[in-house]
Structure 1
Amino acid sequence: MTNSQRVIRAVFAVVIAAAVPMGFAGSAQAEESFTWEWKHDRHAGDCTMFAGAKWTLNDKGKAEFEAVVTSGSNFDAWLMWVQLRDEQGNVLGWMRNADRFLPDPGDRRKFVMGLDDKSQRYVWTAHGEFDSVLWPKVSQLHLDDRC
């Protein structure tokens, strides 16, 4: 083997080693996920959730929510419950609020966003969880919401 071949092999080995996390063992499996995005504004009472609101669910039973919301009244709140449904629209279960400080510890299915100032738009992010055995069956989300 020539010196240039040794240098190339050494550089290649360093690049490969840098790409693999320390302590890595076994094979990595890509996480499956799917995003449901609402293409139109949603209204509940005098509250508005703007188009582009989305839930992203993964096969591990985790979910992330992001939306922009507002209200026509000061000191309002958007309340939301999320149903997981199959292809026929049958309810499989409910998303549970995974945020550390629940607005209503008695109902882990409830997600709440306070809307204090009617002149503002608020970015709402939330973390959810669901039973991962439902993952292969979930094909729809349904929101029950109030303002």
Structure 2
Amino acid sequence: MMALLQRVRHARVDVAGRVVGEIGPGLLVFLCAERGDTEAQGEKLLAKILKLRIFSDAAGKMNHNVQNIDGHGQMGGLLVVSQFTLAADVSGGNRPSFTTAAVPDEGRHLYEYFVKQAQAVHPIVQTGQFAADMQVHLVNDGPVTILLRVSPPDCVPR
């Protein structure tokens, strides 16, 4: 399971001209489930995302996480967007192959499980819409963009 994180000043997702998810400062999380991924991997990935110190302190060093973005208890938001194209393989030519991505039912289950777990432990969680044509609007802060991957069997980040 993998996630592409972008530290944002604000972000939103539109579907058919309607806002379906929106946050202020926080993390835009593009989430990809691959074949064989498990709920345990999603839990490990979420734990890593919540603890990742990528928000700046007063000295400009990355010392704060999304649960305390300013060092004074301010929570950042999570905007979780399904993104199967992170599994793209272009090694065989110019047209991407997505054979390692989870099949839609499996991907939906793992996405929804991840979101449910995030909502249980973090107060500001918004989402995109699974399998929809989404327009994602964001202001990347920094810019800071980080790829995280958790793989079986022991769920240790690669």
Range into which the TM-score falls when normalised by the shorter chain? under 0.3
TM-score by length of 2: 0.26
**Which is greater in Rg?**
1
* Higher RCO (C-alpha 8 Å, min separation 6): 2
Q: Structure 1 length normalisation: TM-score?
A: 0.27
More helix by share: 2
